[in-house]
Chain A
Amino acid sequence: MLVLLIVITVLVALRIYTILPDSRSRPSRVRKKTKTDKCSIAVFLGSGGHTAEALTLVSALDFQRYTPRTYVVSEGDILSTRKAAELEKSKCCDKAEGRYRVLVVPRARRVHQHLLTTPPTALLSLLSSIYHVVIEPLMFKKTVFADLLLLNGPGTCVVLCIAVYANKFFGLPTPRIIYVESFARVKRLSLSGRLLKPFVDRFIVQWPELLQPGGREEYHGWLV
């Protein structure tokens, strides 16, 4: 029994190792797209400053090309939903046209939530994310969750990344993940940044102080 458990653990670890992004950040396995191809995008809006930065990033993209768009918000975050709708409206797209949708997931951890009560809420958040990222596209829609997932923290975005890895684990089509560290992080990465750095396809920082020699971080100036 123990031997079996060890064998399984080793196999799972090996599988995860093989699906990690290359240590150098250049994309390797991405299929080339023609100018007229569409690319669906999902973005997590982490409320407050995170939402503001994420929406600034999304607004830089060509909405004709990056469509449809999925905004993932935490339960109860009405302000982020409203701001996403405002952006869509300013870019001339009504929800009725089916160009975008808002997905609500339970929070992994509420602000000031006690550490001991975090595991159940994080699990609920994870199950919900796995449903939206893995099960729903596979079972009911016969399509991918998104071609591109944009993350910039906080907490719940880690859960979304884990859900994407569930897809990768089984060799299902998965979104490329771009993580953009907040403009507010000058000298030290955020907790979500530190956790996600080895797992995302591109890891972007906005202050050169955060670059590590030979690291995965990339700096392209201020983006927000």
Chain B
Amino acid sequence: MIAFVTVGSTTFDPLVEAAVSDEFLEALLDKGFKRLIVQRGRSDLKLKGIPESGNSVTLHRRGIDIELWKYKPSLRTEMEMSNLVISHAGSGTIIEALRLHKPLIVVPNPTLLDDHQQELAQALDGLGYLKTSTASDLARTLSTFDTEKIVTFPPIDGSRFARLVDEEVGYQ
């Protein structure tokens, strides 16, 4: 099984650090994960024991194959092949992961001033579509995450918007 961690185009070092922490890697192994992909964004964080070599780094730690890279134009492939997505609270990423029906843990970045993304993550958590966590709680959130209990995200119903627009411009 593959887990995918993404911070999008933001800088969110506490999440990146938590994702490669021993505690989290052990929680992954416990859940049967063998591979971890981390999209670390603009971070220039120096991680202990991880070489700084360009865009992409691979290593093996605590029984998990880890692949770290900074950025790719589309994260679609990684999302599709993953069995778990752990993401910053970007609404685009949240919608994309939920539409693909991936178990999703969202870690809002507490240093962002505008907290409307956090509100979205919490509202969706309240409805049972995803789990929110803090970076320091990530390992524990994963250990207690029961993916059977996730509520299935509804598919897009385009007819509602189509009807509204038809009515507004004068079609009967």
**Chain A residues packing against B (C-beta within 8 Å):** 27, 30-33, 35, 37, 39, 48-49, 52, 56-57, 59-62, 65-66, 79, 147-148, 176, 178, 180, 182-188, 190, 201-202, 204, 207, 220-224
Inter-chain CA distance A65–B166, complex, in Å, is: 10
CB A83 to nearest CB in B, in angstroms, measures 11
Contacting residues, chain A, for B156 (C-beta < 8 A):
56, 60, 224
Number of interface residues of B (CB under 8 A): 26
**Chain B residues packing against A (C-beta within 8 Å):** 73, 90-92, 95, 116-117, 119-120, 123, 154, 156-162, 164-165, 167-172
| Given A49-B90, A184-B91, A223 contacting B167 (CB threshold 8 A) | no
B92 adjacent to A48 (CB under 8 Å): yes
Contacting residues, chain A, for B90 (C-beta < 8 A):
49
Q: Could you jot down 23 A-B contacts, CB within 8 Å?
A: A27-B168, A30-B168, A31-B170, A32-B170, A32-B172, A33-B170, A35-B172, A48-B92, A60-B159, A60-B161, A61-B158, A66-B165, A79-B73, A176-B168, A178-B165, A183-B120, A184-B116, A186-B123, A187-B116, A188-B119, A190-B116, A201-B168, A222-B157
Inter-chain CA distance A31–B170, complex, in Å, is: 6
B154 adjacent to A183 (CB under 8 Å): no
Inter-chain CA distance A66–B170, complex, in Å, is: 12
A148 adjacent to B116 (CB under 8 Å): no
B160 adjacent to A221 (CB under 8 Å): yes
A-B contact count (CB 8 A): 87
A-B pairs with lowest CB-CB distance, top 3: A60-B158, A184-B91, A49-B92
Inter-chain CA distance A45–B158, complex, in Å, is: 18
B165 adjacent to A61 (CB under 8 Å): yes
A224 adjacent to B164 (CB under 8 Å): no
| Given A60-B158, A183-B91, A204 contacting B169 (CB threshold 8 A) | no
B169 adjacent to A30 (CB under 8 Å): yes
User: Binding site of B, secondary structure by majority: helix, strand, loop or mixed?
Assistant: helix
Contacting residues, chain B, for A202 (C-beta < 8 A):
164, 168
B164 adjacent to A204 (CB under 8 Å): yes
CB B150 to nearest CB in A, in angstroms, measures 17
**Nearest B-chain residue to A79, judged by Cβ:** B73
**Nearest B-chain residue to A222, judged by Cβ:** B154
Inter-chain CA distance A184–B92, complex, in Å, is: 9
Known: A56-B158, A187-B116. 15 other contacts (CB 8 A): A30-B168, A30-B170, A33-B170, A52-B92, A60-B158, A61-B158, A178-B164, A183-B91, A183-B95, A186-B120, A188-B119, A202-B168, A221-B160, A222-B154, A224-B156
A220 adjacent to B116 (CB under 8 Å): no
Contacting residues, chain A, for B154 (C-beta < 8 A):
222
Contacting residues, chain B, for A56 (C-beta < 8 A):
156, 158
Inter-chain CA distance A76–B159, complex, in Å, is: 33
- Of the candidates B91, B161, B165, the one whose C-beta lies within 8 Å of that of A49 is B91
CB B163 to nearest CB in A, in angstroms, measures 9
B159 adjacent to A52 (CB under 8 Å): no
Inter-chain CA distance A62–B165, complex, in Å, is: 10
B116 adjacent to A185 (CB under 8 Å): yes
B171 adjacent to A35 (CB under 8 Å): yes
With most chain B CB atoms within 10 A of its CB, the pick from A52, A66, A184, A188 is: A184
B91 adjacent to A207 (CB under 8 Å): no
CB B81 to nearest CB in A, in angstroms, measures 21
A62 adjacent to B168 (CB under 8 Å): no
Contacting residues, chain A, for B158 (C-beta < 8 A):
56, 59-61
- Of the candidates B73, B119, B165, the one whose C-beta lies within 8 Å of that of A186 is B119
**Nearest B-chain residue to A50, judged by Cβ:** B92
Contacting residues, chain B, for A182 (C-beta < 8 A):
91
